[in-house]
Amino acid sequence: MISDRLKEVILKELELKEYDLKDETVASEVPGWDSLNHINIILAIEKAYGIKFKGLEILKAKNIGDLQKLIDSKNPL
């Protein structure tokens, strides 16, 4: 399940007031999420969570649920 924190970071970076992000949501479905904004979103997530991703890790994430799992693996509660 996608955390409210992740939703907030993504929506803020895309300047969207609201969008129903789900585990299976892919970037191409979200308004404004293009290749440039993808980089900005990843950087914003790294900053918000105090983590760093490797390029291969990002490439393996196929949807927002995968991205949440990746964050959780680097930032356990």
Model confidence pLDDT, tens digit, residues 10-62: 999 999 999 999 999 999 999 999 999 999 999 999 999 999 999 899 999 99
pTM here?
0.91
Q: How many domains does the chain have?
A: 1
Query: Domain containing 28 — which CATH number?
Result: 1.10.1200.10
- Decide: helix, strand or coil at residue 11: helix
φ and ψ of 47, to 5 deg: -70, -45
Which residue in the block uniquely carries the two structure tokens 């585990």? 23
* pLDDT score of 76: 66
The residue range of the domain holding 39 is 4-74
CA-based nearest residue to 58, from 67, 47, 68: 67
* pLDDT score of 75: 73
* pLDDT score of 64: 97
Alpha-carbon span 26 to 61, nearest angstrom: 10
